[in-house]
A and B are shown apart, each in its own frame.
Chain A
Amino acid sequence: MDQLTQHTLWQSNIRRKNWLVWGTCFVLALLTVYCWSIMNKDTIWEFVYDAPEQGADLVSRMFPPDWFYINKLYKALWDTINIATLGTLLGLIIALPVAFLAARNTTPSVLFVRPIALFIIAASRSINSLIWALLLVMILGPGILAGVLAIGLRSVGFIAKLFYESIEEINATSVEAIESTGASRFQVINYAIIPQVLPAFLGVIIFRWDINIRESTILGLVGAGGIGLFLSSSLNVLAWPQVTLIIVVILATVIVSEFLSAKVRALLIG
């Protein structure tokens, strides 16, 4: 008798779960339909219906790429790589002290200094580099400098966050051991902390450089120098074969940077 009750109870449990799952699915479906109707309130369907034709037309105008245009791109490409590299360097220089101020085990004050450091990190991370660039172009005028600063300011949060997390994960007894020799605070950082976090730090820097190459290709859209400047001017004059070439060049650059960063990482850390 007992067993039977248990059996029934168990089944009813499953049924309730099933109802819950199906009910949730139904509500989600309703929500999707509702959202879709709002999303497409302003869509002009006549434009969408001939999208395949339009797409085919654009592609036909984009090919073949204007290969000779590459001669004008070399300098812009070089600028782009420099923006990414110098920006990463700038981010690193600012992020390093911020990370040590943010990590629980190295901050001089958990109550006062750490929140400030965390705020710097959050502020830098919450603003996209394109928006940083927009603001900086307004302040500094167009050019590479605005691009470098935009990439740098955006990188601070990313680098500092990953840095301080790895500082917090170090082996605390090694730190204790160095402290117990009578070493000063900076000697402890130099001897006990830096050796432990160095591989992680190098990995983060290379990873960020890799991301920055990609980000710096679009900064030109808002006037902050680099290859994006040419992309936006080609788009403006509807020079589609040039646009194709620029996209191909960006793709190639990103692939090469990814390959390079993987190689360097393996070399430094492996």
Chain B
Amino acid sequence: MLKIEHLKKQYKKGPLVLNDINLEIPEGQIVGLIGPSGAGKSTLIRCINRLIKPSSGSISLDGTNLSEASPKKIRQQRRYIGMIFQEYALVERLSVMENVLSGRLGYLSFWQSFTRRYPQKDIDNAFDYLQRVGLIDHANKRADELSGGQRQRVGIARALAQDPRLLLVDEPTASLDPKTSRQIMRLIQSICREKGLPAIINIHDVPLAMQFVDRIIGLQGGDIVFDGQASELNEQVLTRIYGDEDWQPADEQQDKGDD
């Protein structure tokens, strides 16, 4: 279980990006984090795996405190937190397999990883994950030979290779077309269900979020302004999160005019 208490983040001389965030995410829950650009979504998930250092407050994963850990301890804990990125963040000139296996780096010595001598178990698992995301035939291709959707699948397999207890997902579909976006979200959702894995998905596409997540958290100016089920998300809530805007789809407005 992930527990965040009184989390604050302020960049040097800047305003508060996160202002007293309190959050609990139980096993297996998929959380969609929505909010306007600059609301602090990215900062929040990067505080959890300590790519960003929080200013104050505590973050704990399964009872281990992450906010005040030493650099070595942080590296150990990062192994249990898989992260999936917007622009896939693969190492393009490495093979698909090497990208997936790089999820194991935290468990290996430098020399083992330098010589690419992975334990057979890691390799077997990596093939399983590639099978799971549907890329088993592409294992030896270079990552830059793949399409956007395929690259994101490699990103998912890399996160799985970490054998994580939590998934952090940063705008997984922002660079993908609507169909691929749905496939990727469905894949993430079903993997989380299979493994009982909690996930925080940072996402701009509200309808997509409503379709695939259990719980939605709305972030605005560093504060949580909404926390509830996807079905509770209505126009008032969207206005509270994003500000005034006409939230009706175009065709519905057309219908109203005709009446």
A-side residues, CB < 8 A to B, are 171, 173-174, 176-184, 186-187, 190-192, 195-196, 198-199
Contact = CB atoms under 8 A, between A and B. Distances in A.
B81 interface: yes
Contacts of B104: 181
A195 B106 contact: no
Given A174-B89, A179-B78, A195-B94, 15 more contacts: A173-B87, A174-B91, A176-B85, A177-B91, A178-B105, A180-B78, A180-B83, A181-B78, A181-B79, A182-B75, A182-B79, A182-B162, A183-B102, A186-B110, A196-B93
Nearest to A192: B91
Contacts of B89: 171, 173-174, 176-177
B51 interface: yes
A189 B155 CA distance: 19
Contacts of B98: 191
Contacts of A176: 51, 85, 89
B75 A183 contact: yes
Contacts of A190: 110, 113-114
Contacts of B108: 187
Contacts of A186: 110
A182 B108 CA distance: 10
Nearest to A187: B105
A190 to B, nearest CB: 6
B90 interface: yes
A246 B211 CA distance: 78
B103 interface: yes
Most B-side CB within 10 Å, residue of A171, A178, A181, A191:
A181
Contacts of B107: 182
B76 interface: yes
B91 A195 contact: yes
A191 B77 CA distance: 20
Most A-side CB within 10 Å, residue of B77, B79, B93:
B93
A190 B93 CA distance: 12
A174 B144 CA distance: 13
A177 B85 contact: yes
30 contacts: A171-B89, A171-B92, A173-B85, A173-B86, A174-B89, A176-B51, A177-B155, A178-B91, A179-B51, A180-B51, A180-B78, A180-B168, A181-B106, A181-B158, A182-B76, A182-B105, A182-B106, A182-B107, A183-B102, A183-B105, A183-B106, A183-B113, A184-B75, A184-B105, A187-B105, A187-B113, A190-B110, A195-B92, A196-B93, A198-B93
